[in-house]
Amino acid sequence: MSKGPRDVFKLSHDWLSVQEVVDAVSSPSCGAISVFIGTTREDEADSRKVVGLEYEAYEPMAQSEFNKLCADIRARWQSVTHICVHHRLGWVKVGDASVVMAISSPHRHDGQQAIQHCISQLKANVPIWKKEVYDTQEANWKENAECSWSTQKKPPENTLSEGKPE
């Protein structure tokens, strides 16, 4: 495997392994691995309980946007060594991880800042959509408030009445 910087992005219908993501960024030159795990939370909307999320993505564009995100992270924090993001597609039940990401760096400060930036920008720019599924068997597509193409700049608990965001 190359000793240079690694950027790994994976979309998967399978359960996400935190250890696999951590292993992808491990390096003897790094004293810090910053990790973010985003899980599906039990939430309530209009007296309906969220039982899971359904994710879809436009995969070629998602990869392209991830590459841009990695370039941006590396421009801001030159000490970042490796970046890895795994994101689920399909059904994700409450409590399961929807996204796992890790960034390695020689020291914790840059990695911690980079991981925060990474999740914010992933939600804002990478074309991955989620649909909340409720205990009533109803479902609504959700927009991330950070999303650059969002039709609504409101908190994420608001839903679209029909269709997936464009």
- Was 123 annotated as part of a binding site? yes
Is residue 137 over pLDDT 50?
A: yes
CATH of domain 28-142: 3.90.1170.40
| The predicted structure's pLDDT at residue 43 | 86
What are 151's two structure tokens?
């039709």
Query: Mean pLDDT across the stretch 114-129?
Result: 96
- Was 130 annotated as part of a binding site? yes
Please give the Cα distance from 150 to 35 (Å, whole number). 27
Please give the Cα distance from 20 to 25 (Å, whole number). 9
- Was 3 annotated as part of a binding site? no
- Was 132 annotated as part of a binding site? yes
- Was 154 annotated as part of a binding site? no
Is residue 51 over pLDDT 50?
A: yes
* DSSP assignment string, 44-112: EETTEEEEEEEEEE-HHHHHHHHHHHHHHHHHH-TT--EEEEEEE-EEEETTSEEEEEEEEESSHHHHH
Please give the Cα distance from 40 to 55 (Å, whole number). 11
Query: Mean pLDDT across the stretch 6-24?
Result: 98
| The predicted structure's pLDDT at residue 142 | 80
Q: 63: pLDDT confidence band, cut at 50, 70 and 90?
A: very high
Q: Count of CB atoms within 10 A of residue 1's CB?
A: 5
CB 149 within 8 A of CB 166: yes
CB 85 within 8 A of CB 9: yes
- Was 93 annotated as part of a binding site? no
Q: How many residues does the chain have?
A: 166
